[in-house]
Chains A and B, each alone.
Chain A
Amino acid sequence: MSKPDVVAGILWLGATLYAVFGGADFGAGVLSLISERDGELGSRARARINRSLTPVWEANHVWLIFCLVVLWTAFPRAFGPLMETLYVPLTAAAIGIVLRGSAFAFGHAFSGRTKRRSEQVFGLASVITPFFMGCVVGAVAAGAVPADGAGEPFSSWLAPLPILVGILFVTSSTYLAAVLLRDDARRGGDPELFRYFTRRAIGGAAVAGALSVAGVFALRSDARFLFDGLTGPGLPLMIASLLMGTLVLVGLVKGVERGLRPLAAGALVAVIWGWGVAQHPYLLPENVTIDAAAGAPQTLTAVIIVFIFALLIVGPALIFLYRLSQMQVLED
């Protein structure tokens, strides 16, 4: 494996962790928005979401920073064109991030009407942000970002595939969050809430599954290169994902209590890595390869070293945080 490939792997790992942790975070926001209609149970759901998210949301989102930074440091020749072409959905995602994070924090300070409104903004922004991020990823997949960055500002992402990926980001995040929160509800000793999130997870799984099928067709027509990769070298991972997803769904329907979290996350991870394998050696499919995008070799080495330090320092700290959070040591 060449040095740029190693760093691309690091980038992909960051993206995976963001998809899992950040995704669950967004999904929890979507669930909070949906729960508005569910009366007393809904407000219990929101309280649960709030308690689960409060200590970890900021850390969950540092993965995004990590990806941006690795992208522009290690692959400046991909970062520039990406930003130049897809500035519209990227700006929208940035606005979503601001609204989401600050509304969530404000929800803790205020009470009454202001609190409710903060929660609503938080929920809406939890839909907008992953949607536009999905559009960005979909547009990249469709090969809409040329090497010189002079892509179309609108038609690059206002197309079936990017929009489908956007919706898929929202729904799969929601599904993942419901599976995770289901566990939290069980641990918190609330069987009714456990069943509530189980229903949400099943619903999410159904929608995300149907969209994925549609996605396969969209890929076939709009991103042939990626489609070939996914059905070629990426196929084992896609099958693994399908299997895990099916197992989760069966488990949900049967009311299995434990062990679904890693499977649900695993299904997502397998798709992301299948995708990575499929688009290799491109970073921006069919336009910019990993090697062509890569920055100076000394910088790539530096990024690898920084990453090792991050593993040693941040890894244990993150585990510590999640442990404390699970043990309900952290509270408002």
Chain B
Amino acid sequence: MIVDVAFALPLAADNLLAARETMAFTLGFHIVLACIGVALPALMLIAEYRGRKYDDADALNLARRWSKAAAVLFAVGAVTGTVLSFEMGLLWPKFMEQWGDVFGTGFAIEGIFFFTEAIFIAIYIYGWNRLEGWKHFWTGVPIVIAGIGGAFSVVAVNSWMNQPEGFTLAADGSVTNVAPIDALLNNATAYEFPHMLLAAYMVTGFGLASIYAVGWLKGRRDRRHRLGFIIPFAVAAIATPVQLYVGDVAARGVADHQPAKFAGFECVQETGPNQTEWIGGICTDDGVEYGIGIPGLNSILVGFSTDTVVTGLNDIAPDERPPANTMLHLAFDGMVGIGSALLLLAGWFGWSMWRRREPPASVWFWRGAAVAGVGSVLAMWMGWIVTEVGRQPWIVQGLMRTEDAVTDAEGLWFVFGGAVLLYTALGVIAYKAVRVLSARDDELAGIPYGPPGPEPEIESVEAER
């Protein structure tokens, strides 16, 4: 749907839409790499810990090869993040001008974490040969902490956009009594931060495990591949049930504090008790069509009773209702659906590990695991669509409209087009780079097969040596 709008509107030369699409696209790109930046260090450290503690050469090998891929992915994460910092001002100058000092402290704190991350990542990745044993392991610990802290401070800013706190609005519209800490610790941070952190661990864990699951299906079942699957999958599997719990809390938080968003993605038309929970379907002015309805469940989810009154769109001023309700509704259901499917997969894995100390043998498990990575990325994207599109027309909920924040600069559609081209190329090359690195590792380890698929660069790798 976003795609439709994106293609239909260049003609209208609408700055607002161009800016929104640019922001959404570049954020959607960065967030995947950011997830890897947050969670991959922990996975590397788990593997390294195992390797050092139990003298496990396979585990050490995994930690090393993951850290080589990390070097490339973190670099792309850092540059796309830098671009985002520019974009905040280039696309939304009035937003920054009016509110920068209220929410900015979060980004300032994030600066410390970025430094820590950049410094210790370098030491960790390039210190494998010369830093001895556990010393090397410990240089990785600050990266994990920095990832968590960085996710907190940037997500707190987003939470603030959703539930702005920590200031007083004077009668003349000026902002006074700014309390930076209150702004960061707003209501929404309490669930957005853990939800995003867990999403990062799910995306990275399931994503990395997916690669090894594909290998398993192709017959690569030696000990190293098995370990390469189990470590990330186990981490993601532990995160999954917690994630669903936090998501449930988030939904109630949104219903309480952003009723328009909630009504938009649940397609609640009329305020009242005993609301039906709709799964799938299309949202119309008369409610959901073609969906599966479970009477009363929506009210139960919001307030643990069918008597709970849920605000409907009829109580929201027409120019304050979120757009694209069908897309919001399907995005929300998609996130919840994928989350539930991943829970089943995680449960299957946990059961099998508990009973037999082995992942399930069924090929269906491995097929599921092979798509779990893509699935969690999709779930995360859909979650962000719910959050960001659901907040519209506000950039700061209830206080500043997105249309009032956007720049007057011209040529934004060219910026959007350029960003799409540049980032697509970046994604393709980064993917190839990681593949080449892993093929080189296989060769060095004397493993006769590389990763699946074509390996156009292999010859040049050999030629170099």
Q: Mark A278-292, 1 if CB is under 8 A from B, else 0.
A: 000000000000000
B-side contacts of A317, CB under 8 Å: 115-116, 119-120, 142
Does more than half of chain A's interface fall in helix, strand or loop, or is it mixed?
Answer: helix
A58 touches B74 (CB 8 A): yes
Q: Mark B378-413, 1 if CB is under 8 A from A, else 0.
A: 000000000000000000000000000001111000
B104 touches A330 (CB 8 A): no
Which segment of B127-135, B221-229, B353-361 sits at the interface?
B127-135
Which segment of A74-82, A156-164, A200-208 sits at the interface?
A74-82
Instruction: Tell me, yes or no, whether B75 is within 8 Å of chain A by CB.
Output: yes
Contact of A109 among B72, B126, B129 (CB under 8 A): B72
B457 touches A110 (CB 8 A): yes
* Segment 57-102 of B: residues with Cβ below 8 Å from A: 71-72, 74-76, 78-83, 85-90, 93-94, 96-102
Across the two chains, which residue of chain B brings its CB closest to A88?
B409
Interface range on chain B (Cβ under 8 Å from partner): 35 or more
* Segment 244-297 of A: residues with Cβ below 8 Å from B: 295-296
B105 touches A73 (CB 8 A): yes
User: In the complex, what distance in Å separates the CA atom of A142 from the CA atom of B464?
Assistant: 51
A296 touches B437 (CB 8 A): no
User: In the complex, what distance in Å separates the CA atom of A29 from the CA atom of B362?
Assistant: 52
Instruction: Tell me, yes or no, whether A68 is within 8 Å of chain B by CB.
Output: yes
Instruction: Tell me, yes or no, whether B434 is within 8 Å of chain A by CB.
Output: yes
Across the two chains, which residue of chain B brings its CB closest to A118?
B429
Across the two chains, which residue of chain B brings its CB closest to A315?
B115
Q: Mark B436-465, 1 if CB is under 8 A from A, else 0.
A: 110000000000000000000100110110
Contact of A59 among B102, B115, B180, B437 (CB under 8 A): B115
Instruction: Tell me, yes or no, whether A314 is within 8 Å of chain B by CB.
Output: yes
B457 touches A59 (CB 8 A): no
Distance to closest chain A CB from B412 (angstroms): 10
Across the two chains, which residue of chain B brings its CB closest to A310?
B112
User: In the complex, what distance in Å separates the CA atom of A329 from the CA atom of B135?
Assistant: 13
* Segment 99-139 of A: residues with Cβ below 8 Å from B: 100-102, 104-106, 108-114
A102 touches B79 (CB 8 A): yes
Contact of A329 among B80, B88, B131 (CB under 8 A): B131
B-side contacts of A314, CB under 8 Å: 112, 115-116, 119
A-side contacts of B108, CB under 8 Å: 69-70, 73, 302-303, 306
B114 touches A62 (CB 8 A): yes
Distance to closest chain A CB from B179 (angstroms): 6
Distance to closest chain B CB from A202 (angstroms): 31
A-side contacts of B130, CB under 8 Å: 328-331
B408 touches A58 (CB 8 A): no
Report which residue of B94, B121, B460 has the largest number of chain A beta carbons within 10 angstroms of its beta carbon: B460
B79 touches A98 (CB 8 A): yes
User: In the complex, what distance in Å separates the CA atom of A18 from the CA atom of B112?
Assistant: 15
B93 touches A83 (CB 8 A): yes
Contact of A110 among B76, B82, B460 (CB under 8 A): B460
Contact of A91 among B86, B93, B430, B437 (CB under 8 A): B86
A-side contacts of B85, CB under 8 Å: 65, 68-69
A-B contact pairs, 10 of them (CB 8 A): A72-B88, A76-B104, A84-B409, A98-B79, A98-B422, A108-B72, A110-B457, A110-B460, A313-B115, A320-B123
Other A-B contacts than A72-B104, A94-B82, A313-B112, 8 sampled, CB-CB below 8 A, are A58-B78, A59-B115, A61-B82, A62-B118, A69-B111, A76-B98, A296-B176, A314-B116
Residues of B within 8 A of A (CB): 71-72, 74-76, 78-83, 85-90, 93-94, 96-102, 104-105, 107-112, 114-116, 118-123, 126-127, 129-131, 142, 167, 175-181, 407-410, 415, 418, 422, 426, 429-430, 432-434, 436-437, 457, 460-461, 463-464
List the 3 shortest-distance A-B pairs measured between CB atoms, nearest first.
Answer: A295-B101, A73-B104, A80-B97
